[in-house]
């Protein structure tokens, strides 16, 4: 599973979802869903915009969590 750590990155960089929206054009509803963990299918264009605006790398924004085998 891939976890998007946008909430933590915003907190660490003292940014708001509104500031991200204003700077990147990513819709507020998409950003809100990502922050709340309700959206897991995010396009690379959005990931790219987030990394550029937040001046971070993929590993700062994304975390791989291995799924347990049954």
In a domain, 49, yes or no: yes
In a domain, 68, yes or no: no
When divided into structural domains, the chain yields a total of 1
Buried b (16+ CB within 10 A) or exposed e, 24-54: bebeeeebebbbeeebeebeeebbebbbebb
CA distances from 40 to 20, 29, 35, 62 (A): 18, 13, 10, 11
pLDDT of res. 69: 80
Show the domain range for 17.
2-63
On whether the CB atoms of residues 47 and 2 are closer than 8 A, the answer is no
pLDDT of res. 53: 97
Q: CATH number of the domain that 30 lies in?
A: 1.10.260.40
In a domain, 70, yes or no: no
- Mean local confidence (pLDDT), 48-60: 96
In a domain, 69, yes or no: no
Over residues 14-51, the pLDDT tens digits come to 999 999 999 999 999 999 999 999 988 899 999 999 99
């Amino acid at each position: 599973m891939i976890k998007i750590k946008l909430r933590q990155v915003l907190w660490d960089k003292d940014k708001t979802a509104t500031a991200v929206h204003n700077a990147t054009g990513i819709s507020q509803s998409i950003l809100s869903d990502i922050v709340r963990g309700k959206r897991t299918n995010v396009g690379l264009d959005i990931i790219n915009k987030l990394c550029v605006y937040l001046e971070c790398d993929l590993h700062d924004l994304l975390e791989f969590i291995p799924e347990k085998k049954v």
